[in-house]
């Protein structure tokens, strides 16, 4: 079946033409279908559709087929069921983070999209809603017989502008025109908030916000929402990271409301690493939403004051919403389409994966500027350092989505003091990033390396600088 799936992507153009003919033909039969009875017709169609599509596409019968919009590659073959583009963990060879022997379903989808139209980036796939779990196993063809359109959702209506006086410190910093610095802190494996506060205290006065990871790497720690609330209570500005891996849309929306009620003003929406990478590989991954549908849900809560179900909120949250981007893994060119989708879905700031490859990042930023994306969201670039070339090499091999060029590894390896050299490389990267048009700031990361990170931020002293070229509309 896997080889048939790859064959379908190779023949995406002909299959798409066939699909369009089928849709036109089927919708012409809508009156007859109604006469026959849609329920009866679905019973007949379902087994035929299942056999034909599982043979050609390894179809999972999600009941909301989007093959025509995803290069004839079924996104339900993605281990995280991402419906709006690749996750940040795609391997350098284009294979899947979770199933390393298989091609990433979204690398295949972009290959198919290119075969259908060479200028596919000019009209990327529409934003797709979170899957309606009730429709699993149902026929999608029946929609064609009913003359229904593709299940694409609309961009959020009317963005609510937060008045200056109500903006949180991170949002104000992003709008101020000076260089922004955020830092990542992992919550502790402890019921005692002391360890968390000790880590946060190292960045007192040095950063604009502290990201609290949500089960990073699929490992269990104190919950991100609780750790964020603790930081608020102690005068810090947290970015509450929300991963889709562990909670469904009901739990996530409840947590977002709870976080806002506890004073959290910033959230970062991400899909999350798979459980297989963490300390509980036996856990059930959820992935009820993906990062893009989560952004849309969060934006709907803030702007329209309603849950994903449409039910009204009594008091909507007012959040500065961000998303992640990873320009350093395949499919490189299509990462822009994914970034644009996140911005359209509601992201107002973007934090990237570790940038160890400036050339690759500059290429990405050229396209960001070409599409004016840096004027629609604040681009904050991930940077960091590790203690040695060995540790950096380990991270490149084992942490999904991290790309470290061999030239950098060799430079650190050859140094007499590897830790000092790695730190110098990080500082050089930060200065180089500060000179790239469209870069709003840096997001400093490095697990259990807080002292060195604080030194780097102090030595760069970038928060005093006006952004060199950025203008945000």
Between 403 and 467, CB nearer to ligand SF4: 403
Interface with ligand SF4 includes 76 (CB under 6 A)?
A: no
Output the smallest distance, CB 5 to ligand SF4, in A: 12
Nearest CA to 63 out of 50, 51, 80 is that of 50
Output the smallest distance, CB 397 to ligand SF4, in A: 16
Between 90 and 127, CB nearer to ligand SF4: 90
At residue 453's C-alpha, the angle toward residues 412 and 265, to 5°, is: 140
Between 124 and 441, CB nearer to ligand SF4: 124
Choose one: 92-100, 238-246, 355-363, 457-465; the region binding ligand SF4 (CB under 6 A).
Answer: 92-100
Backbone angles phi, psi at 397, to 5 degrees: -80, -30
Residues 61 and 98 sit within 8 Å (Cβ to Cβ): no
Residues 49 and 141 sit within 8 Å (Cβ to Cβ): yes
Residues 168 and 313 sit within 8 Å (Cβ to Cβ): no
3-state secondary structure of 211: strand
Between 97 and 303, CB nearer to ligand SF4: 97
Interface with ligand SF4 includes 347 (CB under 6 A)?
A: no
Output the smallest distance, CB 91 to ligand SF4, in A: 7
Integer Cα distance of 130 and 116 in angstroms:
25
Integer Cα distance of 455 and 202 in angstroms:
10
Integer Cα distance of 447 and 402 in angstroms:
14
Between 96 and 231, CB nearer to ligand SF4: 96
For the chain, helix, strand, coil in percent to 5 are: 45, 10, 40
Choose one: 6-14, 104-112, 176-184, 311-319; the region binding ligand SF4 (CB under 6 A).
Answer: 104-112
Choose one: 25-33, 74-82, 391-399, 456-464; the region binding ligand SF4 (CB under 6 A).
Answer: 74-82
Integer Cα distance of 327 and 367 in angstroms:
11
Interface with ligand SF4 includes 78 (CB under 6 A)?
A: yes
- Binders of ligand SF4 in range 2-31 (CB under 6 A): none
Candidates 12, 66, 96, 430; binder of ligand SF4 (CB under 6 A) is 96
Integer Cα distance of 256 and 226 in angstroms:
11
Q: How many CA atoms lie within 13 A of 311 on its CB side?
A: 4
- Tally: H helices and E strands in the chain: 17, 8
Integer Cα distance of 347 and 328 in angstroms:
20
Choose one: 12-20, 82-90, 109-117, 416-424; the region binding ligand SF4 (CB under 6 A).
Answer: 82-90
Between 98 and 138, CB nearer to ligand SF4: 98
Output the smallest distance, CB 453 to ligand SF4, in A: 28
Output the smallest distance, CB 180 to ligand SF4, in A: 28
Between 126 and 188, CB nearer to ligand SF4: 126
Output the smallest distance, CB 306 to ligand SF4, in A: 29
Candidates 9, 65, 82, 268; binder of ligand SF4 (CB under 6 A) is 82
Distance spanning both ends of the chain, measured CA to CA: 48
Instruction: List strand residue ranges (DSSP E) for 85-143, in order.
Output: none
Choose one: 80-88, 308-316, 372-380, 404-412; the region binding ligand SF4 (CB under 6 A).
Answer: 80-88
For residue 247 the two structure tokens come to 């909670």
Choose one: 62-70, 85-93, 135-143, 251-259; the region binding ligand SF4 (CB under 6 A).
Answer: 85-93
Between 352 and 385, CB nearer to ligand SF4: 352
Residue 263 backbone class (left: φ over 0; alpha: ψ -120 to 50; beta: rest): left
Interface with ligand SF4 includes 98 (CB under 6 A)?
A: yes
Interface with ligand SF4 includes 90 (CB under 6 A)?
A: yes
Residues 193 and 236 sit within 8 Å (Cβ to Cβ): no
Interacting residues with ligand SF4 (CB under 6 A): 78-80, 82, 86-87, 89-90, 96-98, 104-106
């Amino acid at each position: 079946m896997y080889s048939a799936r790859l064959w379908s992507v190779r023949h995406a153009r002909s299959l798409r033409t066939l699909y369009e003919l089928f849709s036109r033909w089927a919708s012409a039969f809508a009156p007859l279908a109604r006469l026959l009875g849609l329920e009866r017709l679905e019973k007949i169609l379902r087994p035929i559709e299942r056999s034909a599509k599982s043979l050609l596409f390894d179809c999972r019968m999600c009941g909301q087929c989007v093959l025509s919009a995803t290069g004839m590659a079924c996104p339900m073959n993605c281990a995280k069921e991402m419906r709006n583009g690749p996750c940040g963990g795609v391997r350098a060879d284009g294979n899947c983070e979770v199933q390393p022997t298989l091609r990433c379903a979204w690398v295949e989808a972009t290959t198919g999209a290119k075969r259908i139209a060479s200028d596919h980036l000019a009209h990327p796939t529409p934003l797709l809603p979170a899957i309606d779990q009730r429709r699993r196993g149902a026929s999608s063809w029946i929609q064609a017989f009913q003359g229904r359109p593709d299940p694409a959702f609309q961009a959020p209506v009317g963005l609510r502008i937060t008045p200056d006086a109500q903006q949180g410190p991170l949002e104000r910093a992003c709008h101020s025109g000076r260089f922004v610095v955020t830092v990542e802190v992992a919550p502790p494996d402890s019921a005692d908030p002391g360890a968390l506060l000790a880590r946060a205290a190292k960045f007192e006065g040095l950063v604009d916000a502290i990201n609290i990871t949500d089960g990073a790497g699929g490992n269990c720690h104190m919950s991100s929402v609780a750790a964020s609330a603790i930081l608020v209570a102690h005068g810090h500005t947290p970015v509450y990271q929300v991963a889709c891996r562990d909670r469904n849309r009901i739990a996530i929306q409840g947590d977002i409301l709870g976080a806002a009620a506890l004073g959290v003003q910033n959230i970062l929406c991400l899909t999350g690493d798979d459980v297989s990478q963490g300390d509980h590989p036996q856990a059930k991954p959820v992935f009820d939403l993906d990062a893009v549908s989560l952004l849309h849900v969060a934006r709907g809560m803030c702007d329209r004051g309603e849950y994903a179900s449409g039910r009204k909120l009594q008091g909507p949250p007012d959040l500065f919403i961000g998303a992640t981007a990873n320009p350093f893994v395949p499919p490189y060119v299509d990462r822009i389409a994914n970034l644009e989708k996140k911005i359209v879905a509601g992201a107002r700031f973007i934090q990237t994966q570790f940038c160890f490859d400036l050339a690759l990042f500059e290429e990405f930023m050229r396209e960001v500027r070409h599409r004016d994306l840096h004027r629609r969201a604040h681009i904050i670039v991930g940077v960091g350092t590790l203690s040695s070339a060995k540790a950096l090499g380990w991270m490149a091999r084992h942490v999904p989505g991290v790309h470290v060029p061999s030239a950098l590894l060799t430079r650190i390896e050859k140094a007499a003091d590897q830790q000092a050299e790695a730190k110098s490389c990080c500082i050089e990267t930060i200065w180089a990033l500060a000179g790239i048009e469209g870069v709003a700031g840096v997001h400093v990361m490095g697990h259990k390396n807080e002292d060195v990170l604080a030194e780097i931020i102090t030595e760069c002293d970038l928060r005093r600088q006006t952004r060199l070229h950025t203008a945000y509309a």
